[in-house]
Amino acid sequence: MRQQILVLEQQRNNLLGIIYMVSGIFLLSVMDAIAKWLVEDTLDPLQLLCVRSWIVVVVLLAYYSLTRQLDEIKPTRPVAQGIRGMLGFLAPYCFFKSLITLPLADATVIFFSGTFMITALSWPLLKEQVGIHRWTAVIIGFIGVVIAMRPQGDGQIIGYLLCLTGSLAYALLFISGRWLSKTESVISLVFSFNFGLGVVSTLLVPLVWVPMANQLLLVVFVFAVIALAGHVCLTSAFSKAPVGVIAPFEYTALIWTVILGYLIWNDIPANNVIVGAVIIVSCGLYVIYRESKYHHTVTNENR
């Protein structure tokens, strides 16, 4: 009877994790669409990130002060967290910058190369074993990235390079977060990242700052709230269910970005982007499956 209750509870948590994951990915896809709309004609990504970061920092400080839980966001290793936050600046900046020239769905497909970069970098940086199955998936996945990009030397190549740089920065951000999570709480990582992002963007933003009307400030505030809500959903998802259960639903971003891209900009992904996306998603799902199997085996061996 107890075993049945545990199984039902895990199934319920898995379902909640999936709901949180899908909701979070949807919110972040909407955030990316708003970002593209803003950076195409109105704001430089630096200014957008600067305002967003400080809004998130203020909201988190206000919430945890009112609930008397400020210790939750206090970093145990402030120097390491600070370095992570400042270096992590490149992840959103390069991605938002790429949206100036790339369709939303195309940029999202290329950004998914981060899955393969995380796997490749986890071997030298985290000393994790990466077997032949995952290395093969990583190589084929990068072939899918090249197919999706179809580099021809036109103006969009800068956008693709920016997107790949952002993807690499995201991979390093993810790996450093995994390393720091041994001593740091999730919310402290979120807070420190946004604080570091705010510091770097504030130092650079005078180069591109333009006056913002009240209506534009309201849009950016909504943008920041959606970003924060999306990250809270993702954090909740990973706290409820195993990575292998919820990680595949990250690829629902492709559905949302295709729909949003068509509705707002009338963008339809080219055939090479669709083929590349199929390869990238297939290899990404296989990497997730193999990583889940590897960690399950390691856990059992250490019991």
Name the residue among 302, 20, 290, 275 with its Cα closest to residue 135.
290
Mean pLDDT of 286-297: 73
Do 291 and 60 form a contact (C-beta atoms < 8 A)?
no
The answer to which of 24-38, 188-202, 233-247 has the lowest mean pLDDT is 233-247
pLDDT in tens, 75-114: 889 889 888 888 889 999 999 999 999 999 999 999 999 9
The predicted pLDDT at position 83 comes to: 87
pLDDT in tens, 188-235: 888 999 999 999 999 999 999 999 999 999 999 999 999 989 988 887
The predicted pLDDT at position 300 comes to: 40
Give percent of the chain with pLDDT exceeding 70.
94
Across 158-259, where does the E strand assignment appear?
A: none
Mean pLDDT of 15-33: 94
Residue 232 sits at the vertex; the CA angle it makes with 231 and 237, to the nearest 5 degrees, is 95
Which residues fall within 8 angstroms of residue 191, CB to CB, at 6 or more apart? Answer: 57, 60, 73, 75
Residue 302 has pLDDT above 80, yes or no: no
Structural domain boundaries of the chain?
2-301
Distance CA 258, CA 30 (A): 11
Do 234 and 174 form a contact (C-beta atoms < 8 A)?
no
Mean pLDDT of 122-145: 89
Mean pLDDT of 23-30: 96
Distance CA 207, CA 193 (A): 22
> What mean pLDDT is reported for the chain?
88
Provide the 3-class DSSP secondary structure of residue 231: helix
